[in-house]
Amino acid sequence: MADRSTIYQVAQRSGVSTATVSRVMHDGAGFSPATRDKVLAAATELGWVPSGSARGLASRRTGIVGLLFPDLDRSGEAEQESPLYVDEVIRGAERAATAVGDAVLIAATHTSSGRQLAFSVAGKVDGLVVMARSLSNQDIVMLSRSLPVVVLANNTHRRLDLVGADNRGGTRGITRHLIDVHGYTDIVFVAGPPRSPDSLARFAGFRDALGAAGLAVPDQPAASGGFTEAGGERAMRELLAGGRRPRAVVFGNDEMAIGALTALRAARVRVPGEIAVTGFDDIAVARHVRPPLTTVRQPMRELGERSVRLLLDRLADPDAQRRSLILPTALVQRRSCGCRPHLTENRGRTSG
Amino acid sequence: MADRSTIYQVAQRSGVSTATVSRVMHDGAGFSPATRDKVLAAATELGWVPSGSARGLASRRTGIVGLLFPDLDRSGEAEQESPLYVDEVIRGAERAATAVGDAVLIAATHTSSGRQLAFSVAGKVDGLVVMARSLSNQDIVMLSRSLPVVVLANNTHRRLDLVGADNRGGTRGITRHLIDVHGYTDIVFVAGPPRSPDSLARFAGFRDALGAAGLAVPDQPAASGGFTEAGGERAMRELLAGGRRPRAVVFGNDEMAIGALTALRAARVRVPGEIAVTGFDDIAVARHVRPPLTTVRQPMRELGERSVRLLLDRLADPDAQRRSLILPTALVQRRSCGCRPHLTENRGRTSG
DNA sequence: GGTGGTTACGTAAGCGCTTAACCAACGTAA
DNA sequence: TTACGTTGGTTAAGCGCTTACGTAACCACC
């Protein structure tokens, strides 16, 4: 691996100045076709890979957008963001960035060094998408002093661009489904991580539905856990151990609901016969578990895409008005709620 | 959002030179505690985020490793890398990079602009991990002229650092299991994308096992498709339509096998009673499908981790000898092959 | 009181690009 | 003829850091 060659070498080899090389590389105007060919030839012969650092320094634009999310490593502690959710967001972000020729820098703010990492990342990018709970609100504000920041799934900022899903409406809808369609009245909610804005909004939607139906509205979730299978399994066991068996359980997300199915199977409780179960997200596994999981589809990939697009818009026009984007969700009826869809239904068809 | 502040402002505000500021930021030596405090105070007051571009240009190190993978967007065409596999690799890479304070730049080389994107990314990073089929071998070699490249799951390079899983051994093992433990003799292989090195190696392992058992060794896979559910479903339908029903089908990966389960259910063929099915990868869904999928666990996350670590080693010592790392796989016995594990077995226990 | 070593800085030269400003040569119109 | 665009370039000044090198101040030791 030889040293990287530079624009000077390319310029020399093609007999023009570096300015001309630069123009050719940017498809600008102001050079003849012959010159263009010479430059391109020299560049490929030398295997020139223009330095992003130099380019970024000179042009004040790195062509990189950063994505910060909470600990995507699921080994270890329990209180984590659902990895599957994060993966989809990353994919969406990557897609939107690539569409305009940018790349995505990802960093999980695990461990205590997360803050430091975040600042390091901030220096390397044109703008940042920050997922909920990957950084303190204070740090987010601090960073937003020096570069554009879009906040994902965290509605606690009044001055920053925001993207999120309609958690409240989605959970309200699925809860209403349990009440109106199936006639359940004894329904409880199992929350995710305590400070997750997503989880809080979903609980609010749950309360909305109960209230609207004239049922008793609880102050607190019946149980809670990390947004993980293990968390859901444990919460479900606690619920069962608590004696009082609800007729239906609305979980904060799919992974928890899937963990709960494991606990229920172990306890030989039939789903949905004795207890109905629902999730949130519609991750890939949801339609494969037994019974297939009724859930709320959240456009995870689109969340990633929209965040990046919002960021790019902001970059293009720093003075534009702040925007707040709430994406709609969709009820996905499968069997865990008591519905009996067609045989093909577990292949991912939606309704509602 | 004000303009970013610079090292000059920090230097001025704290009454020292930029050299001293730089030293303080790097935890170097050569300054008094009092100076250190002054600098740090000035930096936080200004909300200074050091420019990664300037840093990279001056120090010739960006603190970024790039990860190139094939089209991670699954909408659209059929011939794609399994997204779940990619996600795990990304996660592993992110983890290894973060451990040393680096960040990961990801880019999918979808569409025709992939080449250009790859070169753009190459300019922004210290080194590159290139997954199989994300870039032509020629381009890989070209890039490796100007920066360190580790190749992931593509054993066709003789001069580059390599990381891969033991595809051949893994498939040999699972095929032998079908023969030795279950006594099947009529077994076929369904391949993934035609030019996937992974798929080719797996077919080779399949042939190994048949040969070793004295069975007829096929020249070609019985069918093939993208590494996707849709691909597997279609391939299975073709197989069934073909009239001759094998007793067992070894699929190139889990997603294909899962797609096949759908096709088999639709055709009312019992698994494993009439046809046994196996996969490769052990993705999260594998243990949730019915019947739970017997498969070969591939340490996907570790592949990502190891690739990045190899890259970092190479960065630290450019003249070190080239290394080639083949990670072991493990047979995961579940029910789709005909095994009758304990009730808990579908929670992910392994053996073999 | 000179010599040498250490500590704690400052000075300034780049790193490899972009881009504003300038310019020569060549029509082309008045 | 002169004036004036246009085309196709060049020159050179940064962009915001790092770091080799220089140096002042201080101490230690014969």
Per-residue 3-state assignment (H helix, E strand, C coil) for B95-120: HHHHHCCCEEEEEECCCCCHHHHHHH
CB-to-strand D under 7 Å, chain B 23-42: 23, 25-26
Q: B78: pLDDT confidence band, cut at 50, 70 and 90?
A: very low
Q: In the A/B pair of chains, how many CB contacts fall below 8 A?
A: 186
* Residue B195 pLDDT exceeds 90: no
Residues 143-162 (A) with a CB less than 8 A from some CB of B? 143-148
Q: B82: pLDDT confidence band, cut at 50, 70 and 90?
A: low
Nucleotide nearest to A20 (CA to C1'): D9
Cross-chain residue pair A124–B103, CB shorter than 8 Å: yes
Q: How far apart are CA B95 and CA A272, in angstroms?
A: 39
Cross-chain residue pair B95–A87, CB shorter than 8 Å: no
CB distance A309 to A96 below 8 Å: yes
Cross-chain residue pair B142–A47, CB shorter than 8 Å: yes
* Residue B234 pLDDT exceeds 80: yes
Kindly write down the DSSP assignment for every residue of A263-280, as one continuous string: HHHHTT--TTTT-EEE-S
Question: In degrees, to the nearest 5, what angle opens at C-alpha B70 toward C-alphas B321 and B109?
Answer: 100
CB distance B352 to B333 below 8 Å: yes
How many helices and strands (H and E) does chain A possess? Answer: 12, 12
Cross-chain residue pair A104–B101, CB shorter than 8 Å: no
pLDDT digits (tens, 9 = 90+) for B17-66: 999 999 999 977 888 899 999 999 999 999 999 999 999 999 999 999 99
Structure confidence at residue B83 (pLDDT): 64
Structure confidence at residue B110 (pLDDT): 67
Helix/strand/coil for A191: strand
Residues 20-49 (B) with a CB less than 8 A from some CB of A? 47-49
CB distance A50 to B123 below 8 Å: yes
CB distance A97 to A66 below 8 Å: no
- Is A31 near strand D, with its CB below 7 A from some atom of it? yes
Structure confidence at residue A82 (pLDDT): 57
On chain A, the residues whose CB falls within 8 A of the CB of B53 are 52-57, 62, 124
3-state secondary structure chain B: CCCCCCHHHHHHHHCCCHHHHHHHHCCCCCCCHHHHHHHHHHHHHHCCCCCHHHHHHHHCCCCEEEEEECCCCCCCCCCCCCHHHHHHHHHHHHHHHHHCCCEEEEEECCCCCHHHHHHHHHCCCCEEEEECCCCCHHHHHHHHCCCCEEEECCCCCCCCEEEEECHHHHHHHHHHHHHHCCCCCCEEEEECCCCCHHHHHHHHHHHHHHHHCCCCCCCCCCEECCCCHHHHHHHHHHHHHCCCCCCEEEECCHHHHHHHHHHHHHCCCCCCCCCEEECCECCHHHHCCCCCCEEEECCHHHHHHHHHHHHHHHHHCCCCCCCEEEECCEEECCCCCCCCCCHHHHHCCCCC
Mind telling me how many Å the CA of A230 is from chain B's nearest CA? 11
Which residue of chain A is at minimal alpha-carbon distance from B317?
A: A1
Structure confidence at residue B76 (pLDDT): 41
Mean pLDDT in chain B? 90
Q: How far apart are CA A290 and CA B290, in angstroms?
A: 8
Query: At residue B196, what are phi and psi to the nearest 5 degrees?
Result: -75, 120
Cross-chain residue pair A106–B87, CB shorter than 8 Å: no
CB-to-strand D under 7 Å, chain B 50-89: 50-51, 54-55, 57-59
Residues 305-344 (A) with a CB less than 8 A from some CB of B? 318
Give the other-Cβ count within 10 Å of A211's Cβ.
12
Cross-chain residue pair A103–B106, CB shorter than 8 Å: yes
Structure confidence at residue A155 (pLDDT): 85
pLDDT digits (tens, 9 = 90+) for B235-291: 999 999 987 899 999 999 999 999 999 999 999 999 999 999 999 999 888 988 989
Q: How far apart are CA A74 and CA A89, in angstroms?
A: 16
Distance CA A29 to C1' D2 in A: 30
On chain A, the residues whose CB falls within 8 A of the CB of B80 are none
CB distance A102 to A345 below 8 Å: no
- Is A100 near strand D, with its CB below 7 A from some atom of it? no
pLDDT digits (tens, 9 = 90+) for B94-133: 999 999 999 999 999 865 677 889 999 999 999 999 998 8
Q: How far apart are CA A85 and CA A336, in angstroms?
A: 21
CB-to-strand C under 7 Å, chain A 33-92: 48, 50-51, 54-55, 57-59
Structure confidence at residue A351 (pLDDT): 33
Residues 6 or more apart whose Cβ sits within 8 Å of residue A65: A93, A97, A102, A103, A104, A105, A125, A126, A127, A128, A129, A308, A311, A312
Q: How far apart are CA B352 and CA B336, in angstroms?
A: 16
Query: Which positions of chain C lie under 7 Å from any protein Cβ?
Result: 7-12, 14-21
Beta strands of chain A (E only): which ranges? Answer: 64-69, 103-108, 127-131, 149-152, 161-165, 187-191, 223-224, 248-251, 276-278, 295-297, 324-327, 330-332
Residues 6 or more apart whose Cβ sits within 8 Å of residue B55: A53, A123, B62, B63
Which residue of chain A is at minimal alpha-carbon distance from B283?
A: A285
Helix/strand/coil for A236: helix
Helices (H), A157-253: 167-180, 197-212, 229-241
Place of tokens 């990189």: A64
Q: List Cα–Cα distances, A289 to A170, A251, A286, B54, B88, in angstroms.
A: 21, 15, 6, 51, 21
Q: List Cα–Cα distances, B210 to A132, B78, B277, B328, in angstroms.
A: 52, 29, 16, 21
Place of tokens 């093939």: B224
On chain A, the residues whose CB falls within 8 A of the CB of B73 are 91, 95
CB distance A255 to A235 below 8 Å: no
Q: Containing H/E element for A56?
A: helix A52-59
Give the other-Cβ count within 10 Å of B320's Cβ.
11
Query: Which positions of chain D lie under 7 Å from any protein Cβ?
Result: 7-12, 14-20
Q: How far apart are CA A27 and CA A20, in angstroms?
A: 11
Nucleotide nearest to B58 (CA to C1'): C15
pTM: 0.87
Mind telling me how many Å the CA of B273 is from chain A's nearest CA? 20
CB distance B236 to B259 below 8 Å: yes
Q: How far apart are CA B90 and CA B87, in angstroms?
A: 5
Averages of pLDDT over runs of 10 residues in chain A (352 residues) are 87 94 88 93 95 96 95 47 78 93 90 81 97 90 94 91 96 98 97 91 98 97 93 96 92 96 96 97 88 95 97 94 96 94 41 32
- Dmax (CA) for chain B in angstroms is 85
- Which of B219, B274, B263, B217 lies closest to B241 in space, CA to CA? B263
Q: Containing H/E element for A261?
A: helix A254-266
Mind telling me how many Å the CA of B214 is from chain A's nearest CA? 37
Distance CA B18 to C1' D12 in A: 25
- Which of A337, A246, A223, A249 lies closest to A286 in space, CA to CA? A337
- Is A18 near strand D, with its CB below 7 A from some atom of it? yes
